[in-house]
A and B are shown apart, each in its own frame.
Chain A
Amino acid sequence: ETGVTQSPTHLIKTRGQQVTLRCSSQSGHNTVSWYQQALGQGPQFIFQYYREEENGRGNFPPRFSGLQFPNYSSELNVNALELDDSALYLCASSSPGTPVGGYTFGSGTRLTVV
């Protein structure tokens, strides 16, 4: 079975720009969660998507938005990028009935905002 795949692996953006990060969930998983991991910190929950609907959100502003597609892949969009948005963005997928935290994580997208 394939794992969670994220793209791109790295990218550099300028402050004020918009960015889209992509995630393909593990086969059979219909729930996708996104996390932001700043340097030297633990991951912070951004939001979760289940059956194409947002299913919980952390303490992130509305300029962080997402989508989930019928094939359960997902996108994270960030508008009006700020320097503090520089971080590793992790996607995690889980299967139906998995208790919270029983996730499979991707390797992440390293975003640098200059």
Chain B
Amino acid sequence: AQSVTQPDIHITVSEGASLELRCNYSYGATPYLFWYVQSPGQGLQLLLKYFSGDTLVQGIKGFEAEFKRSQSSFNLRKPSVHWSDAAEYFCAVGASNNNDMRFGAGTRLTVKP
């Protein structure tokens, strides 16, 4: 079965600085990969997704992610972080042949003024 590891539990960056959140997945075939964001007390909002094709995907709110098959990674990036980006970020992996989307444990982002 597929699985996801987010190595960083908590990251703090200064407003305006660049951001990279790490995600490593385990799956035997080509995975479906996702990044979601969750603000306190809210549900999950889809930032971006990768199914196939161009390995650099653009999402909402200025986020992008790059699929690297050789490293089994799908890291999320943003060139300049805004205070409103403070939230919990979840990487998820799905498979085409089942409905069991697996989430990582999440990375909590704090943005310093």
A residues in contact (CB < 8 Å) with B: 4, 33, 35, 40-45, 48, 55-56, 58, 90, 92, 99-108
Q: Are A90 and B44 in contact (CB under 8 A)?
A: yes
Q: Contact partner of B32 among A56, A58, A101, CB < 8 A? A: A101
> Whole-angstrom distance between the alpha carbons of A105 and B45 in the complex?
7
The answer to whether A42 touches B106 (Cβ under 8 A) is yes
A61, chain B: closest CB distance, angstroms: 16
Residue B25 is within 8 A (CB to CB) of chain A in the complex: no
Please classify the interface of chain A as helix (H, G, I), strand (E, B), loop, or mixed, using the class held by over half of its residues: loop
Q: A56 with B34: in contact, given A43-B44, A101-B49 (CB under 8 Å)?
A: no
- B43 and A4 contacting across the interface, CB-CB below 8 Å: yes
A56 touches B99 (CB 8 A): yes
Is there a chain A Cβ closer than 8 Å to B42's Cβ?
Answer: yes
22 pairs from A and B in contact (CB 8 Å cutoff) = A4-B43, A35-B103, A42-B90, A42-B105, A42-B106, A43-B44, A45-B99, A55-B99, A56-B100, A90-B44, A92-B44, A99-B96, A100-B94, A101-B34, A101-B46, A101-B94, A101-B101, A105-B43, A105-B45, A106-B43, A107-B43, A108-B42
* Contact assessment for A108 and B43 in the assembled complex, using a CB-CB cutoff below 8 Å: yes
B104 touches A42 (CB 8 A): yes
A99 adjacent to B41 (CB under 8 Å): no
- Given contacts A92-B43, A103-B101, A107-B41, list 9 more A-B pairs with CB under 8 A: A41-B106, A42-B4, A42-B105, A43-B44, A45-B101, A56-B98, A100-B101, A107-B42, A108-B43
Which residue numbers of B lie inside 8 Å of A, CB to CB? 4, 32, 34, 36, 41-46, 49, 51, 90, 92, 94-96, 98-106
**Leading 9 A-B pairs by shortest Cβ distance:** A42-B103, A56-B99, A105-B43, A100-B94, A105-B44, A101-B94, A48-B99, A107-B43, A101-B34
Residues of B within 8 A of A101 (CB): 32, 34, 46, 49, 92, 94, 101
Closest-by-CB residue of A relative to B41 is: A107
Q: Which partner residue on chain B sits nearest A42 by CB separation? A: B103
Residues of B contacting A40 in the complex (Cβ-Cβ under 8 angstroms): 105-106
A3 to B106, CA, bound (A): 24
